[in-house]
Amino acid sequence: MYNQTEIIKDTTNLGPEGELVVNMGPQHPATHGVLHLVVTLNGETIKKIEPHLGYIHRSIEKMCESLTYRQFIYVTSRMDYLSSHINNTACALLVEKGMQIEVPERAKVVRTILNELTRIASHELWIGAMAMDLGAFTPFFYAFREREMITDIMEETCGARLTMNYIVPGGLMYDIHPDFQTKVKAFVKQFKEKVTEYEDLVTGNVIFQSRTKGVGVLTAEDAISYGCSGPVARASGVSCDIRKIAPYDAYDRVEFDEIVETAGDSFARYIVRVKEMNQSIHIIEQLIDNIPEGDFVGKTKNVLKLAKGEFYQRVETARGELGVYIVSEGGTTPYRIKFRSPGFSNLSVLDHIAKGSKIGDLMATMGTLDLVIPDIDR
Amino acid sequence: MFLKDYISDVYNGVTSLLKGMRKTGYYFTHSKEIITEQYPDNRATLKLADRFKGEVVMPHDEQNEHTCTGCTACELACPNGTIKIITKFEMTPEGKKKKAIDSFIYRLEMCTLCNLCVAACPSDAIKMAPNFEHSVFDRSKLTKILNKPGSKIKEGVE
């Protein structure tokens, strides 16, 4: 594989059809981390894309095998660090399902609110980074202004800004901060006022539209056969929201729409995420005034032991479907743990949808797939 | 028709750009609405949340007493082996042997600030402190002994 990536000194003979191999990454500013793409070009047209992974592999699955069911949750914050709350929720739900732990209503509602705040924060960062990929620098700061309010809420209630480890089997680590509700309401109010600024800056911008419309088109059949999930699949007209299909926590009692677009191009993926943020705000509005009183953590044993068998739990992260699969031998640590991360399937479709387009369009296609490399590489 | 499309494209392009530039121009002229904080200069006013997980500390009271019994619950709860407790036996005034901590070794360089040790502590001997300026020139300075020299366990804590 690496013989393709040698530096070509003699430019007179570039293969049978004038092919050129270009390395994009692993430290390219537009690849959002250490993604290494080996792009085969014919002129400016992409002929083949090979993603090379392994630069940020930390063997999280193997690490989890030596950690107890309380300890392994903190590691999952480091997979998809932009939706760490949702990863933690998936693991906590699985342990609760395996041990039949009763979760108090208060914990369920607070978890749902935090999950939706995390989703908004993730999409905010994505909008900023996506616009920056396409050459617009300013929207990054506008997106981070609202995201900062969410990280402040997280800091006050959970004690950290990115890797929270606030959700434990049975409920929450400690009760929410007394100011939590007022702060979230202030955020909802500000977000509704300021979201129009993104529309003015990004959505309506003619350069942004002409760079994303019709670029990287993914059909519904391909989205299903490649195993895409989340906003990527929903922009192609595939209904795949786990919050609707298999509701967990408090999602069964809230009202929200699953955003499905049919165009399948980069602009549709952008629109899905922007509309999803508004739906998340809608979910938070329904729950924030109705946090039930009571315990924040259910009764759990001191030492958690999962029964012998196999357990699976899936949740909807900001990027798609995250599945956690545990094989237990009855001990205090998992025998085998496997994460089905949404980013890996979404990256695998990149070669298919970017083939034949120009190299400038690769940035738009890759940006709208919303890749988080630690999630893909684990 | 081509000319008409061309002119409308140019018009739409310019208006959409001006629309965006009006937003940025608004913040350019309204500098009071800018929320950026200049970090090292705002140290005096910078206030982190009380719950912020910066490092593990062991609170001592005025008599230099802590509440750590040396039960090693935090050591077992830690996923990374950050905490090491060395215990010793002290003689009480009644002449009985009593277990006490000799040193509570905390390695900040290995800590992921997950709060599991604080949650596991039965006597609330350790807590998270909102200190975040941890940079030092030598890694060995990050290995800390949390119990102060000469400190002893508070009366009545078992």
Residues A48 and A112 in one domain: no
Contact between B35 and A148 using a beta-carbon 8 Å cutoff: yes
> Which of A52, A71, A91 corresponds to the end of one domain?
A52
Contact call for A74 and B52, based on CB within 8 A? no
Q: What is the pLDDT of residue B158?
A: 66
Residues B88 and B12 in one domain: no
Query: Which pLDDT tens digit goes with each residue over A207-252?
Result: 888 888 888 888 888 888 888 888 999 888 888 888 888 888 888 8
Q: A103 and A236 in one domain?
A: yes
Q: Which residues of B touch A (CB under 8 A)?
A: 9, 12-13, 16-17, 19-20, 22-24, 35, 48-49, 51-53, 77, 79, 112-116, 119, 128
Q: Are residues A137 and A114 in the same domain?
A: yes
A364 and A280 housed in the same domain: yes
Q: Domain for residue B45, yes or no? A: no
Angle A20-A21-A27 (CA atoms, 0-180°, nearest 5)?
140
Shortest Cα distance, chain A CAs vs residue B126, angstroms: 15
Residues B27 and B73 in one domain: no
Q: Are residues B32 and B59 in the same domain?
A: no
Question: Chain A partners of B114 at a C-beta cutoff of 8 Å?
Answer: 74, 165
Residues A88, A227 within the same domain: yes
CATH of the domain at A355: 1.10.645.10
| Chain B residues within 8 A of A70 when measuring between CB atoms | 77, 116
Q: What is the number of other CB atoms lying within 10 angstroms of the CB of residue A288?
A: 18
B112 vs A contacts (CB less than 8 Å):
74, 163
What angle do the packed helices A105-133 and A180-198 form, to 10 degrees?
30
Respond yes or no on whether the N-terminal peptide bond of residue B40 is cis (omega within 30° of 0).
Answer: no
Calculate the dihedral angle through the C-alpha atoms of A129, A132, A138, A140, rounding to the nearest 10 degrees.
10
| pLDDT of A322 over the 70 cut | yes
Per-residue confidence band for B29, with pLDDT thresholds at 50, 70 and 90: confident
Tell me what pLDDT residue A1 has.
45
**Closest CA of chain A from B148, distance in Å:** 26
| B53 vs A289: CA distance, rounded Å | 28
CA angle centred on A262, ends A256 and A263, rounded to 5°? 130
Considering only the beta carbons, identify the residue of B52, B79, B128 that sits closest to A71: B79
**Tell me, what's the pLDDT at A12?**
57
B49 in a domain, yes or no? no
The verdict on residue B47 lying in a domain is no
Q: Quick check: A155 and B52 CB within 8 A?
A: yes
A113 and A9 fall within a common domain: no
Domain extent at residue A28: 2-52
Cβ–Cβ < 8 Å for A322, A309: no
Q: b/e for A195-230, b at 16 or more Cβ within 10 A?
A: eebbebbbbbbbebbebbeebbbbebebbeebbbbb
Neighbours of B99 (CB within 10 A): 12
Region of poorest pLDDT, from A52-66, A133-147, A267-281, A324-338: A133-147
Residue-number span of the structural domain to which B60 is assigned = 55-153
Chain B residues touching A168 at Cβ < 8 A: 119
Residues B24 and B63 placed together within one structural domain of the fold: no
Claim to verify: residue B28 and residue B100 sit in the same structural domain:
no
Please give the tally of structural domains in chain B.
2
- In angstroms, the CA A106 to CA A293 distance is 6
Distance CA A134, CA A343 (A): 21
Q: Tell me, yes or no, whether B66 lies in a domain.
A: yes
Is A197's CB within 8 Å of B23's CB? yes
Mean pLDDT within A24-52: 80
Same domain (yes/no): A251, A371: yes
pLDDT digits (tens, 9 = 90+) for B129-156: 888 888 889 888 888 888 888 777 777 7
Q: Do A307 and A194 belong together in one domain? A: yes
Last residue of a domain, one of A34, A52, A70: A52
Q: Please indicate, yes or no, whether residues A303 and A205 belong to a single structural domain of this protein.
A: yes
Question: What pLDDT score was predicted for residue A320?
Answer: 87
Residue B17 located in a structural domain: yes
Q: Which residue in the set A75, A159, A207 is minimally distant from B53, CB to CB?
A: A159
Which residue matches tokens 């990050």? B142
ipTM (interface predicted TM): 0.77
Asked, for residue B11, whether it belongs to a domain, the answer is yes
Structure tokens belonging to residue A299: 């009764």
Residue B61 sits in a domain whose CATH number is 3.30.70.3270
Q: Are residues B96 and B133 in the same domain?
A: yes
A136 lies in the same domain as A10: no
- Claim to verify: residue B64 and residue B137 sit in the same structural domain: yes
Bridge-based pairing state of the strands B127-129 and B65-66: unpaired
* Chain A contact probe: residue of B22, B34, B53, B124 with most A CBs at under 10 A: B53
B91 & B22 share domain: no
- Domain assignment present for residue B42? The answer is no
Q: Which among A203, A237, A241 is positioned nearest to A217, based on CA atoms?
A: A237
**Encoded tokens for A338:** 């496997």
Tell me which chain A residue has its CA closest to the CA of residue B74: A71
Q: Kindly report the nearest CA distance between residue A156 and chain B, in angstroms.
A: 5
CB contact under 8 A, A156 and B16: no
A38 and A135 belong to one structural domain: no
Instruction: Report the pLDDT averaged over residues B87-104.
Output: 78
B31 and B106 share one domain: no
For B19, the closest of A142, A173, A200 (CB atoms) is A200
Distance from CA of B31 to the nearest CA of A (A): 14
Q: How many domains, in total, are found in chain A?
A: 2
Q: State pLDDT tens for residues A279-313.
A: 899 898 888 888 888 888 888 887 888 888 899 98
Examine the domain organization and report whether B8 and B80 are in the same domain: no
- What is chain A's alpha carbon radius of gyration, rounded to the nearest angstrom? 21
- Closest-approach residue (CA) in chain A for B51: A159
| CB pair distance less than 8 Å for B119 and A168 | yes
Same domain, B8 and B71: no
Residues A234 and A272 in one domain: yes
- What sign does the CA torsion over A324, A328, A333, A335 have? negative
Identify the pLDDT of residue A5. 52
Neighbours of B70 (CB within 10 A): 18
User: For residue A345, what are its two tokens?
Assistant: 């399937």
Same domain, B83 and B32: no
